[in-house]
Amino acid sequence: MGYEKSEAAFEEAYRYIPGGVDSPVRAFGSVGGVPPFIERGEGPYLYDIDGNRYIDYVQSWGPLIFGHCDPEIENAVIETAKKGLSFGAPTELETALAKEIVELFDSIDKVRFVNSGTEAVMSALRLARGYTGRDDFVKFTGCYHGHSDSLLVQAGSGAATFGAPSSPGVPADLTKHTLLATYNDLESVKRCFEQSEGGIACVIIEPIAGNMGLVPAEESFLQGLRELCDAHGALLIFDEVMSGFRASLKGAQGLTTVRPDLVTLGKVIGGGMPVGAFGGRAEIMHKLSPEGPVYQAGTLSGNPVAMAAGLTSLRKLKANPSLYVTLAERARKLMEGFEAAARSAGLPLVTEVRGSMFGFFFTDEPVKNFEDAKRGDNEYFKKFHRAMLDRGVYLACSSYETGFISTALDDALIDETIRIAYEAMQSIHG
Ligand code: PMP
């Protein structure tokens, strides 16, 4: 495969855009080489400007559960756009999407739309602090909740990839209320509660972590968090920006009995358009402006085109919930294939699957938290990623990310990917 046009495009982009990209992970910094510049997507495939075709397991980092250019979503976007792109005034589309979400999640009585996952989490955190009147909160190392100041501490995703968990430009004053705990380790959370002087407003967690690779929380751990939060009058926030409508129709909440007080959503609820949302119990959401004193706003929030894309996606998912069974089967088949391919090449590999989400680490130890995840062999990952890309398989370009299966990926493409994975694993030693 040639990448000449992408190389030239990257050089040109570099002149005008820092790092040539609008979000750091995209620059391929941790795997090396030039990122393919994308010309278009179609169903399960991405096409770059050099004419290379890839089987896409990134799907815009999660939103595209129906693959690229789903005709119904495309049509909803076009028809809505014809009526105007934005009004900054209420539309019935917002209520329709809100209603779908409220009906699906028993933890959500009311929901507000924003434009990104970052905004959703930032707003939920403010609301939790406003509701409880407390400043401190607990987050877990390796969990990524967007790039707002107080959450950019020991974060996963790009922040982990680049080895800069905390960023310059974030005043220490703004992170002094961020208490760090270890994923799947309840004792570390108890210590945070003991250490906090002013009290904990909330514990925020990715109930299925997808930003240190794919690392699910254990059920007993989530139950322990619920009990601790209840005992201390703190709120429990599930950040389901990634796992929402991905792990199951009800996200992680379809796979656990634990219910959070607040939930953040994004990615799939926008069907590929920029959308985030946060919701929860009525008495908490009631504190939000204009009903209550906690301020939060957005010029383009609830944008009609984005709402139409999200609404169409959610209705399609709701109409056919069994598709999650198929997606999970394909994810499992893919991971079993990767494991067999690694074994045949004498390489260590552990894998994880939750619904349409999958992850793998080049290690033979179980991965339960960020420290475990960091033991994965990055050199193997880099070589594997490159070998797959050169053979037409587009995987997330960091070992701290999650892969996704879309409904556009059929069994034949999974088989094809596994066949390529055998070659790629063999090439790692070569
Ligand atoms: N929370 C989680 C769990 C995420 O995975 C992400 C993005 N990957 C975010 C928040 C931030 O979302 P966005 O990139 O839309 O701001």
Mean pLDDT of 145-163: 76
Predicted confidence at residue 394, as pLDDT, reads: 98
Predicted confidence at residue 159, as pLDDT, reads: 64
Predicted confidence at residue 139, as pLDDT, reads: 95
With a 6 A CB cut-off, is 401 part of the ligand 1 pocket?
no
CA-nearest residue for atom 12, ligand 1, is 117
> 214 falls in which pLDDT band (50, 70, 90)?
very high
Which residues, 6 or more positions from 31, have their beta carbon under 8 angstroms from its beta carbon?
A: 381, 382, 385, 386, 397, 398
Residues 315 and 362 in one domain: no
pLDDT digits over 308-357, tens only?
999 999 999 999 999 999 999 999 999 999 999 999 999 999 999 999 99
Provide the residue range defining the domain that includes 291. 71-319
Predicted confidence at residue 174, as pLDDT, reads: 84
Residues 140 and 63 in one domain: no
Residues 198 and 315 in one domain: yes
- Asked if 120 contacts 265 with a C-beta cutoff of 8 angstroms, the reply is yes
With a 6 A CB cut-off, is 137 part of the ligand 1 pocket?
no
> 157 falls in which pLDDT band (50, 70, 90)?
low
With a 6 A CB cut-off, is 144 part of the ligand 1 pocket?
yes
With a 6 A CB cut-off, is 211 part of the ligand 1 pocket?
yes
Predicted confidence at residue 162, as pLDDT, reads: 52
With a 6 A CB cut-off, is 242 part of the ligand 1 pocket?
yes
Taking the centre of ligand 1 as the mean of its atom positions, its distance from the CA of residue 347, in whole angstroms, is 31
Catalytic residue (choose from 144, 183, 324, 380) = 144
Catalytic residue (choose from 56, 136, 239, 372) = 239
**Is 176 marked active-site?**
no
pLDDT digits over 385-414, tens only?
999 999 999 999 999 999 999 999 999 999
Predicted confidence at residue 111, as pLDDT, reads: 98
Is residue 109 over pLDDT 80?
yes
Residues 85 and 58 in one domain: no
In the chain the first and final C-alpha atoms are separated, in Å, by 19
> 37 falls in which pLDDT band (50, 70, 90)?
very high
Mean pLDDT of 63-81: 98
Residues 406 and 285 in one domain: no
Residues 266 and 315 in one domain: yes
Mean pLDDT of 242-247: 98
Taking the centre of ligand 1 as the mean of its atom positions, its distance from the CA of residue 146, in whole angstroms, is 5
Residues 297 and 387 in one domain: no
With a 6 A CB cut-off, is 328 part of the ligand 1 pocket?
no
- Return the CATH number at 404: 3.90.1150.10
Residue after which a domain boundary falls, among 319, 334, 356? 319
| Cα(137)–Cα(207) distance, integer angstroms | 16
Atom of ligand 1 nearest to the CA of 121: 10
Predicted confidence at residue 155, as pLDDT, reads: 73
With a 6 A CB cut-off, is 210 part of the ligand 1 pocket?
yes
pTM for the structure as a whole: 0.97
Predicted confidence at residue 133, as pLDDT, reads: 98
Residues 76 and 51 in one domain: no
Residue after which a domain boundary falls, among 319, 348, 381? 319
Atom of ligand 1 nearest to the CA of 117: 12
**Number of domains within the chain:** 2
The residue to mutate among 25, 145, 300, having the most atoms of ligand 1 within 8 angstroms of its beta carbon, is 145
Residues 83 and 218 in one domain: yes
**Is 267 marked active-site?**
yes
Residues 235 and 326 in one domain: no
Atom of ligand 1 nearest to the CA of 274: 15
Beta strand 215-216 with 276-280: parallel, antiparallel or unpaired?
unpaired
Predicted confidence at residue 160, as pLDDT, reads: 59
- Return the CATH number at 119: 3.40.640.10
Residue after which a domain boundary falls, among 286, 319, 352? 319
Mean pLDDT of 242-261: 98
pLDDT over 90 percentage in the chain: 92
With a 6 A CB cut-off, is 136 part of the ligand 1 pocket?
no
Residues 301 and 399 in one domain: no
Predicted confidence at residue 163, as pLDDT, reads: 45
Residues 247 and 331 in one domain: no
